Structure 1
Amino acid sequence: MHQPRRGKHAEVVRVLRRQIDADVHKGLVAYEVVSIRGRGGGMGDAVTADLAALPAEWGASDETLADPHDVALAVEVGADEQQVARYAGDGVPVLLVVDPRHGDWTLYDRPEGGRYQGVHQGHYGDDIPVPEPLSLALATGLLPRYG
């Protein structure tokens, strides 16, 4: 369940979304507050990402839930180990967790057996190397920290 958002939470999402949307030639678009189908297939099994990069045609569909395999990148502003495990178990290929409390980030990739095999960490100021199909470096220097 998502915590109430504060302005800085929304600003993290805005800064990252602008960078993903600036790279539209790959046919991927960043959508906010996207529910992603879980293993059970229903709304109760879905995870809801703060931001998700999906094929542009998803925005024209009537689908309520995004297919986890279509998600090029899911972003959570603050997430615990249980949330990360749900994304991995549902097969979301790449998950970025940004932590404005501490000014750091963790990028997870290669889900297998309910866990992410790749774990890459950094701090605000370090670029985030997002793998294919996005294949871009997200700048973090302008991300706000919680006071």
Structure 2
Amino acid sequence: MASHTARVASLSWKDYILSRGSRSGHIHHHVRVADHFTLSGHSQDVCGLKWSPDGRYLASGGNDNLVYVWSGVQDGSGQGSSSVHCFSEHQGAVKALTWCPWEHNILASGGGTRDCCIWNVNCGSCINGLDTQSQISSLMFAPNYKELVSSLGYSHNNVVIW
């Protein structure tokens, strides 16, 4: 799969679709058919990708400090694929993305500085913001509890359950 001309920085599977994000800012979808398609929006590295649990949305985070939420890519054809939201509230590269397992319209995103946002993608708004006091390396909703877990880099280098 050699469609990228720059570093491939992130991957995410959904059924038969493999989504790849690259330094060029493009997201390429490879499906188990002959045709592949590309989503364009980011101006820098796509360094985070995550499909929603119900497969309706793909979230992408970039070195351009943006979070995109894409729809219309669930069938693999690329027809009608578009950006539903572009969130620009982060102050650093967005590598950490996770979808809520019990509310499929809730997305958490973490910037490389210290900011975490929790989004409602149905209405396109930030419903909560967290100042983690440290770089966010990854985010994950706990599967059995209504908690968000963050792993943090500089300067705290720890794990926090919110």
TM-score, normalization: structure 2?
0.33
- Compute the TM-score of the two structures, normalised by the length of structure 1: 0.35
Larger radius of gyration: 2
Greater relative contact order (Cα 8 A, min sep 6): structure 1 or 2? Answer: 1
Q: Greater strand percent: which structure?
A: 2
